[in-house]
Amino acid sequence: MKTVKEELLFSKVDKKYLRIKHKSGLTILLCPMSEYNSVYALFGTKYGSINTKFKTSADDDFTCVPDGIAHFLEHKLFEGEVEDAFVSYSRTGANANAYTSFDRTCYLFSASEKFEESLEILLNFVTHPYFTKETVDKEQGIIGQEIKMYEDNPSWCVFLNLLKCLYWQHPVRIDIAGSVESISEITPELLYKTYNTFYNLNNMVLSVAGNFEPDSVLKLCDKLLKQSENVEIENVFPDEPSDVYLKKLEKELDISMPYFEIGFKETPDKQNILRGQLLNEMLIEMIFGESTDFYKKNYDEGIINSTFGTEVMAGDGYLINIFGGESEDPEKVYDVICEEIDRVKKEGLCEERFEEIRRQFYGKGVFSFNSVEGIATAMLSAHFAEKNEFDVLSVTEGITFNELCERFEEQFVSERSSISVVVPTKTEKGQD
């Protein structure tokens, strides 16, 4: 296999970038920006916590792995046979990190000097796994403590309980880190199986933006990366009903004010997750954004406060419109949100407001390309969504008012919504 280069120009933000299919199988996305002093690099795989049942074209049967193994694998890769990757990075001065989400795992660093040395560390430790029973046993204890710590984190608890309310079977309802019980089932053999499946270079992308020379990246890839066999990966998810599993979950923690998250469960568009997410984000901003009458009225009345926020979460088999924050009366927040949805569905959306929001979203999109982190992240995200690296602006530009109205009629249905609440611990008054 030969390395194939393609130079592209995105005129809307005046950026040139390279899309390269390396001879190893890896997709490389490079956006050199000589006007910046730093570089941001991401090395990611399309593998997250929801990928728990899978097979490749080379396998006879499906493999089922314990919940939390993707996150566990992320932790273990930093611990090499010779030294920890963070120790290596300490010599270059790079700021390194990694994360596991529901649908991806990424390793990253930012640097203002010694870029090539830092990139070599990244490519080396991600492509050289080292697992033994002793190191796995040790990591089970470390991550077990991390899981227990998050059990007392109100923001994480209220979010995870919302997913448990909304979904019956889809693995998005499971904590990304798994449970103490599930990670106890992880073995070196299972780690190697998942690694060899999802860390195949054909399933990965290297995204770099900032002040660097593209040739230096290619030379390192030529030097360090071996050709991977391109095997098809098949993921299986259980059938998920359209209705919600529970309407409400409540948990007590040692906090001063209740936390809440309200979610509307939607049917994802498998063919265009990016477009669906943008449509929903626009709808939420139009109806519930800080400049709306809804926000001002309920803020002034003390029903919501400055912590009130929204999010659209979309991925393989899931799509959720989320409202969250702190409130003395979360149930009241839920009621006013449902009432506002009903009102707008009766009276209709405002086309003039839509045009304002579309311009606002387009402006935000352009602004995000003014940072090396923003561009590197956008290139990687778009690639995993099987889109061109700057498609988000074109998609935003192409959304119509009629399209948005049709989507609003189909979504934000109260029967497909749930509320998760974390409330202050109730204490009984003592007697004299």
Quick count: other Cβ atoms within 10 Å of Cβ 190? 19
Enclosing H/E stretch for 224:
helix 214-224
**Residue carrying the six token digits 């990244």:** 122
Angle at 379 between CA 378 and CA 384, to 5 degrees: 95
Distance, CA of 143 to CA of 298 (rounded, Å): 41
Q: Is the pTM higher than 0.85?
A: yes
- Catalytic residue from among 35, 74, 373, 397: 74
pLDDT for residue 388: 65
Distance, CA of 292 to CA of 93 (rounded, Å): 45
- The residues, any chain, with a CB within 8 Å of residue 176's CB and separated by 6 or more, are 48, 49, 68, 70, 71, 100, 101, 102
Profile the chain (432 residues) by mean pLDDT over runs of 10 residues.
81 79 96 93 97 92 96 94 92 97 97 97 96 94 93 95 97 96 96 97 97 96 94 92 96 96 91 85 96 97 97 94 97 98 96 94 85 91 76 82 95 96 74 35
Distance, CA of 107 to CA of 43 (rounded, Å): 5
331 has catalytic annotation: no
Locate the domains of the chain by residue range. 4-235, 248-424
Which of the following CATH numbers is that of domain 4-235: 3.40.470.10, 3.90.1150.10, 3.30.830.10, 1.10.10.1100? 3.30.830.10
Which superfamily is assigned to 248-424 in CATH?
Metalloenzyme, LuxS/M16 peptidase-like (3.30.830.10)
Which sign, positive or negative, has the C-alpha torsion 392, 393, 394, 396?
A: positive
pLDDT for residue 390: 63
Same fold, 4-235 and 248-424: yes
Q: Which tokens belong to 384?
A: 């995993």
Distance, CA of 428 to CA of 142 (rounded, Å): 36
Q: How many CA atoms lie within 13 A of 31 on its CB side?
A: 30
Strands ordered across the beta sheet of 95-100: 4-10, 15-21, 27-32, 204-210, 39-45, 105-111, 95-100
**Residue carrying the six token digits 């003014």:** 370
Distance, CA of 288 to CA of 283 (rounded, Å): 8
Distance, CA of 296 to CA of 303 (rounded, Å): 10
